[in-house]
């Protein structure tokens, strides 16, 4: 495979603090590189250096001549009043694509990304659709390399699965900064961790996240053994030095120099190996009431959109509920109903007496002008945690903040650091029920793992909204799925909900349409007409699926040759899919009746 991009020993510092030093990285055709690392290690900065937006302090970066590179930042912002179509055309203009290609390219890219109304204003879109538009803006440029910084943030679960499939079948190389462990398991062909614990600043592994974890474990074990052996050698040399060797002797002088090198190597190794973890520990009140919140036939919506209709659900002590559903299905709204910020239009929300609720807001609302000191301890230079007085510097250290950061304004903190501030504030409030709305955005993997453990150990109940599928699977004892049209259904876990979502829309395999087992002679429960319908339904589904597949295959050709017909084709595809789904539902109904 041809080399597209190469860096050689690049370094970057902000002020006196180095982010990373001597990092070398290469991207070849077909690469899908997953880039991870602790918060503050410089992943986003490195991505911006690769994109040419920031210059390194030292080192070289070489991009193969003619290679086109596209960058998707963490935050998806667009010009006021700019339409979806306008965003795409600005992107194509920026890379010099001829206007004759614009219409076909924008139609093809936006269609594959899921957009229908190309004239909608970009700023009116939800966070998830703005993220999709940012990705479409990059892809329409027909890049050779795509750099994506936390692309799963703000995407709903369906959006994340769409992105996984898009990247898995992509003709371009990509570098993706992500903390989504299932995403890292499914997408990368190579993994790299940017961290000071490695001698070269970065550790590469061929394979996905599982392969990375295995080889990282082996590396750290070998490094620990090397450190132990080095400590023994340094101890022997130190004892020899204390005896006062004669420095004039050539051999003695060489040994003194060697001892100095060993001591310096050990010091560097210890410095790199020294890591700290955040310390999360939520406090439960010990509420004795079994039933904390009960929703009885709750209805709620906005204007002409119904979010909940006749929703009955009970949250009991110790329950850990995962809320899932598409963007706009009402997950955050349900948290506000549980908290009492909104009142149902129908039905009732009953709360236990003296119920104490602690709420994590996904918008991370902290006064940006506050210092970190005041954000952690608003009233004094100490906090009270579990009936103990703790100085703000010690409290800050618990969440990986250095003492020299205390007077730094909140607006200078990273997204992950702001999340840690909010979690620190929540821990000061004893709770019967935690309501957590996207607490994992911007948190690095070690911090995510600690958050998981703290939620598993929390004695109260919690309701969790997150796009992190691994966290949902590990923490939730029940999953409540919202369809955004009023219905809600409980599932055992995320995987069961995902299987339910996939069931009505069976994928067409390359080998041909999905076939059911051959229909056997219908039982007497079916009428004569139903028996005839049952015998022919399999063939009817096969014919419809073949036609649907043909329509999907013609999208690209229509986009290039007849772009004006593309909207009509998408409508035909949608109608054909609905017809297939209806037949599958009818088949299941007849099969149940026959059995």
Sign of CA dihedral 234, 235, 241, 242: positive
In whole angstroms, give the CA distance from residue 69 to residue 37.
Answer: 23
Dihedral sign for Cα 79, 81, 86, 87, please. Answer: positive
**3-class DSSP assignment, residue 69:** strand
Q: Which of 62-71, 275-284, 394-403, 461-470 has the lowest mean pLDDT?
A: 275-284
pTM to 2 decimals?
A: 0.67
- In this predicted model, which residue has the larger pLDDT, 531 or 573? 573
Nearest to 20 by CA among 267, 200, 268: 200
Integer Cα distance of 439 and 322 in angstroms: 13
Per-residue confidence (pLDDT) for residue 507, from 0 to 100? 44
The domain ranges of the chain are 3-213, 224-273, 291-502, 528-594
Q: If you average pLDDT over every residue of the chain, what do you get? A: 80
Residue 179 C-beta-side C-alpha neighbours within 13 Å:
24
**CATH topology of 3-213 equal to that of 291-502?**
yes
Question: Which residue reads 């789904």 in tokens?
Answer: 581
Distances (CA, A) of 263 to 232, 236, 259, 267, 532: 11, 11, 6, 6, 86
Question: Using CA atoms, how far apart are residues 256 and 268, in angstroms rounded to an integer?
Answer: 19
Helix (H) or strand (E) holding 32: strand 32-36
Residue 82 — pLDDT band, cuts 50, 70, 90? very high
pLDDT of 53 over the 80 cut: yes
Distance CA 431, CA 531 (A): 59
Query: Which superfamily is assigned to 3-213 in CATH?
Result: P-loop containing nucleotide triphosphate hydrolases (3.40.50.300)
Q: Rounded CA gap, 88 and 278, in Å? A: 41
pLDDT at 526: 65
Give the whole-number percent of the chain exceeding pLDDT 70.
Answer: 80
CA 38 to chain centre: 15
Q: What is the CATH code of the structural domain delimited by 291-502? A: 3.40.50.300
Rounded CA gap, 595 and 313, in Å?
33
In this predicted structure, the answer to whether residue 487 has a pLDDT above a threshold of 80 is yes
Reduce the DSSP state of residue 449 to 3 states and report it. Answer: helix
Q: Name the more confident of 511 and 54.
A: 54
553: nearest Cα among 501, 510, 584 = 510
Query: Which H, E and C letters describe 77-131, residue by residue?
Result: CCCCCCEHHHHHHHHHHHCCCCHHHHHHHHHHHHHHHCCCCCCCEHHHCCHHHHH
The candidate with the shortest Cα–Cα distance to 513, out of 566, 571, 584, 569, is 584
pLDDT in tens, 396-416: 887 778 888 888 888 877 777
| Predicted confidence (pLDDT) per residue in 512-556, tens digit | 333 333 333 334 456 656 666 677 777 777 777 777 777 766 765
Residue carrying the six token digits 């949250």: 315
Q: Report how far residue 166's alpha carbon sits from residue 138's, in angstroms, rounded to the nearest whole number.
A: 13
Cβ atoms of 22 and 9 within 8 Å: the answer is: yes
DSSP 295-340: EEEEEEEETTEEEEEEEEEEEETT-EEEEE--TTSSHHHHHHHHHT
Q: Which tens digit of pLDDT belongs to each residue from 177-229?
A: 998 888 999 999 999 999 888 888 888 999 998 888 888 888 777 777 767 77
**Lateral strand order in the sheet of 478-482:** 357-360, 433-437, 461-465, 320-324, 478-482, 488-491
Taking the C-alpha atoms of residue 250 and residue 263, their distance in angstroms, rounded to an integer, is: 20
pLDDT given for residue 7 in this prediction: 93
CA atoms of 316 and 319, how far apart (whole Å): 6
Nearest to 431 by CA among 344, 543, 539, 317: 317
Q: Which residues pair with 145 in a beta bridge?
A: 69, 173
Given a cut of 70, whether residue 254 has pLDDT beyond it is no
Kindly state the helix (H) or strand (E) to which residue 287 belongs, with its residue range: none
């Amino acid at each position: 495979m041809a080399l597209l991009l190469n860096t050689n020993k690049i370094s970057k510092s902000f002020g006196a603090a180095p982010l990373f030093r001597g990092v070398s990285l290469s991207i070849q055709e077909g690469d899908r590189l997953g880039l991870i690392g602790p918060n503050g290690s410089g992943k986003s900065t490195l991505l911006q250096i690769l994109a040419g937006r920031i210059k390194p302090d030292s080192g070289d970066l070489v991009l193969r001549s003619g290679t086109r590179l596209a960058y998707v930042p963490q935050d998806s912002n667009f010009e006021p009043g700019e339409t979806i179509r306008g965003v795409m055309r600005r992107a194509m203009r920026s890379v010099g694509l001829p206007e004759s290609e614009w219409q076909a390219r924008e139609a093809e890219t936006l269609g594959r990304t899921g957009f229908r109304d190309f004239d909608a204003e970009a700023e009116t879109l939800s966070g998830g659709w703005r993220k999709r538009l940012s990705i479409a803006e990059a892809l329409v440029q027909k890049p050779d390399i795509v750099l994506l910084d936390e692309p799963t943030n703000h995407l709903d679960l369906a959006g994340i699965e769409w992105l996984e499939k898009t990247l898995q079948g992509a003709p371009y190389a990509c570098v993706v900064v992500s903390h989504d462990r299932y995403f890292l398991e499914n997408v990368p062909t190579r993994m790299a961790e940017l961290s000071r614990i490695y001698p070269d600043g970065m550790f590469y592994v061929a394979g996905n996240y599982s392969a990375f974890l295995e080889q990282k474990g082996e590396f750290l074990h070998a490094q620990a053994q090397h450190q132990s052996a080095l400590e023994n050698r340094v101890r022997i040399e130190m004892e020899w030095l204390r005896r006062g060797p004669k420095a004039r002797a050539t051999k003695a002088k060489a040994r003194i120099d060697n001892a100095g090198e060993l001591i310096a190597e050990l010091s560097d190794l210890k410095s790199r190996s020294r890591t700290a973890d955040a310390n999360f520990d939520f406090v439960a009140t010990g509420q004795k009431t079994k039933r904390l919140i009960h929703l009885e036939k709750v209805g709620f919506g906005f204007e002409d959109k119904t979010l909940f209709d006749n929703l009955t659900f009970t949250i009991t002590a110790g329950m850990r509920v995962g809320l899932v559903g598409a963007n706009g299905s009402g997950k955050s709204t349900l948290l506000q109903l549980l908290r009492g910020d909104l009142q149902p239009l129908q039905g009732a929300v009953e709360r236990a007496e003296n119920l104490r609720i602690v709420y994590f807001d996904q918008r991370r609302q902290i006064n940006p002008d506050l210092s970190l000191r005041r954000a952690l301890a608003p009233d004094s230079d100490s906090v009270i945690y579990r009936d103990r007085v703790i100085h703000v510097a010690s409290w800050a250290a618990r969440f990986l903040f250095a003492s020299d950061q205390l007077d730094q304004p909140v607006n200078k903190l990273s997204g992950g650091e702001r999340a840690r501030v909010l979690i620190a504030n929540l821990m000061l409030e004893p709770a019967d029920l935690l309501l957590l709305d996207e607490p994992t955005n911007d948190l690095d993997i070690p911090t995510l793992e600690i958050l998981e453990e703290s939620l598993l150990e929390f004695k109260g109940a919690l309701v969790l909204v997150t796009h992190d599928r691994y966290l949902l699977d590990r923490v939730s004892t029940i999953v409540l799925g919202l369809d955004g049209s009023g219905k809600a259904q409980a599932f055992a876990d995320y995987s069961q909900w995902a299987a339910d979502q996939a069931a009505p829309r069976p994928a067409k395999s390359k080998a041909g349409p999905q076939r059911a087992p051959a229909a056997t002679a219908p039982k007497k429960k079916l009428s004569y007409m139903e028996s005839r319908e049952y015998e022919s339904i399999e063939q009817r589904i096969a014919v419809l699926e073949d036609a649907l597949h043909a329509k999907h295959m013609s999208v690209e050709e229509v986009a290039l040759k007849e772009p004006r017909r593309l909207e009509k084709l998408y409508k035909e595809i949608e109608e054909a899919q609905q017809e297939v789904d209806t037949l599958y539902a009818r088949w299941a109904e007849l099969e149940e009746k026959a059995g």
